[in-house]
Amino acid sequence: INMAELMAGFGVFTHALVRGIASSLPKEALRMSSADVDLSRARHEHDIYVGVLKHKLGLQVIELPADDTLPDCVFVEDAAVVCGDTALITRPGAPSRRDETEAVRKALKNLGLNIVDIADDTATLDGGDVLFTGREFFVGLSKRTNQRGAEILADTFKDYAVSTVPVCDNLHLKSFCSMAGPGLIAIGSSEPAQKVLKVQDSNNSD
């Protein structure tokens, strides 16, 4: 497979959705670490990130304002899974985060995407547990995402295979792996990360 074919499968990106950092994040956000958060530094780094999206990558960036009643709202990835012209609005595993989806849903609808909502109140799905390789989805079954959430994702994106991966020691699947380029997954060296790698390898060899 040549690089052009790989890139065609990986997707072409035109837009990015971001959201400001709430002043409530340092004290109220749901985190696994108890380390202090420097709010001014976090906002400065976020500004740099948005600048790269706009000026280095040439994306059209939709910027949603922070909402101080939603401490985790900067993590917009968790609120929706977008593939092609369809956006699946998630049902976050943490009840305190479910209102984050409203602004994200509106922004994606304004872009003309087909919106799919999760109506099943037994399902949970965080976007941080969804890794799209360009050819398939891996969905982490974690504290925030359950089997029913993975099933709804599979029903929504029927053109792609969906494999589930148990996530035991981290918050999300993408806490330790991410796409680094077409056909290339970057994954941590920790024991939990390597367990996930073995599952992904076995799914790819089937």
For the segment 29-49, the average pLDDT, to the nearest whole number, is 89
Cα separation, 146 vs 177, in Å, equals 19
Task: Please give the sequence-ordered ranges of beta strands (E in DSSP) within the chain, or none if there are none.
Answer: 15-19, 60-64, 80-83, 86-89, 114-117, 130-132, 136-141, 161-166, 177-181, 184-187
∠ CA 63-67-68, nearest 5°, is: 140
Q: CB-based burial of residue 104 (10 Å sphere; 0-12 exposed, 13-18 middle, 19+ buried)?
A: buried
For the segment 183-188, the average pLDDT, to the nearest whole number, is 86
- Least reliable range by pLDDT among 42-51, 56-65, 125-134, 165-174: 165-174
pLDDT in tens, 48-100: 999 999 999 999 999 999 999 999 999 999 999 999 999 999 999 999 999 99
Give the pTM: 0.88
